[in-house]
Structure 1
Amino acid sequence: MPERGRPVPAGQAGKITAKGGATEWIHWQSGTAQLLPRLIARRTRGPLFLTDRKAPAGTPTLDVCPETGRARLSYRRAEEIFEENTRLLANPLASPDDIEDLALTHDAEDGTSIPMLLARSRHASARSLERYARPGVDSVARHVAERDPAARRRT
């Protein structure tokens, strides 16, 4: 995969066929790289996340599992299920009600650019990222302090 900058470690990127047949590259971190082989098992083709029912007539061939006949799960629903089932793994001391979209929120708080947040989350527009980019009081204070010209002269 042609990339500028630091090469992606083996097993942390993959070429996928997105909904509608578009080819895209996706990237993941080490933890996902360790779990992904178990999820994929021996699958070599077809969508990975599937609905519970058979695909309705007229569903594009690329969006149907050739072995089960079930349809590809929508990105929105796949994200909901994933978040619901992994939320407490990311923050075991929090209650399920306290945790919402931690990864993107933390990245936004740490100053990750909008284009990078869009690329990582695979959202189509910056407007859809608004729910994640709500920095907390501590993040705003840190941001202001890091950009204080008087503080920079003292260090």
Structure 2
Amino acid sequence: MFLADRRAPTSGPRAPAAADVDPVTGRGRLSYPRAEYLFKIATATLDPHRQGWTLHQLRHSASQHLAQAGRTAPELQAKSRHQHLASLGRYVRLGEETSARITAEADSAQRRRPR
């Protein structure tokens, strides 16, 4: 959760819902646009195009790393909250090593024990 620099108001019309306040620090959750703006500013020097990355790109990068670590499609679906498994395909691009490992694991001849 991305948090504001200041503590959230505790009463009045601008007081956020309790779920939007960190119970330890009392700071409020940033809005999505504000969090994305700050993330883009923080990552601009790392981005080859110097524009910074979006939170959407961060989410998909995390899914890709989980896939490469061997997480199953249902696990990726649960983490990313995609409704359909097919929608994960456009974001999760497995490398050649991962594809080769999956193919080898699925090969029935490789799984048989020598007698």
- TM-score bucket (shorter structure): 0.3 to 0.5
Q: Which one has the largest radius of gyration?
A: 2
Per the normalisation by structure 2, the TM-score is 0.45
Per the normalisation by structure 1, the TM-score is 0.37
